[in-house]
Structure formats: C-alpha cells, structure tokens
Structure 1
Amino acid sequence: MSNTKIVTWGEVESPCIGTCKLDSSSTYCIGCLRTRGEIAVWSTASNEEKRTILAAVAERQKRVSRQT
C-alpha cells in the first residue's frame, strides 16, 4: 500500500454574477467582464485556462475602473 496523497485544488469558480449582458461598445459582459468566447469555453476549460481567463478579466477590470 502506498502512502502517496493526491492533492486536488478544486475547480476554479466562475466570475459570473448573474448579470449577463454584453456591453454595446465592447465585446465583454458587463457583469463578469468575460468575452463571449471566454464565456463559451468556460465549462470545458481546464483550471489553467480558467486562471488565464481570470487574469484577462482582472486586466479589464483595471481598465474599466480607470474609465469611470
């Protein structure tokens, strides 16, 4: 018997807040700031891909915050 433990980090949570509406002047959702493409692939994306999407969302959030 092996004493090796398998560590899982769990799923990356979706940034969706239930306000699903694409901004008319851009290509991202005004609720979660993901693009249409990012939303479409989320359910099948790996955790690494989801973290990449979340990094892009964080950059968009900085830009949106500066514009307001």
Structure 2
Amino acid sequence: MDRISFDSPAGDFAAISLDHDLGGDDTTRPVVLWLCENDRCPPEVRVHTANPVGREWLTGMARRQVRTS
C-alpha cells in the first residue's frame, strides 16, 4: 500500500479528492480526521463515492473545517 506524507517539504496542496469506501472496512475517515485535526484541509475537497452516508460525513467534515479556518 502506498502512503502519502502530508508533512513533506513539497508544501501545501490546493485540492484533494476522496472516495469514502476503500474496500473491506477501510475508509478515508482517518485521513479526513487527521487533516482537520492538523489544520491541513485544503481549500478544495472533492468527494466521489456511491455511499450516501459516507458522502454526508466527508462533506460535513470538509464544510466545518472550511468555516472554522
């Protein structure tokens, strides 16, 4: 499995695209929580998922982060 380091010297990123369900029990929720807790949520968050509950959670977290930043 590949891993992306958000603490890389490459700097900030402008957008991220997320699918909620990654297979099995894995989701992108831990990634989104980390981004929000570390104030690293980019200004543009795209959500592409067939899971309506997952979509609601991801978009809700992104909206809260943008409002509070």
Question: What interval of TM-score do these two structures reach, taking the shorter chain for normalisation?
Answer: 0.3 to 0.5
Using the size of structure 1 for normalisation, the TM-score is 0.33
* Greater share of residues in helix: 1
* Greater share of residues in strand: 2
Using the size of structure 2 for normalisation, the TM-score is 0.33
Structure with the greater alpha carbon radius of gyration: 1
Higher relative contact order (CA 8 A, sep 6+): 2
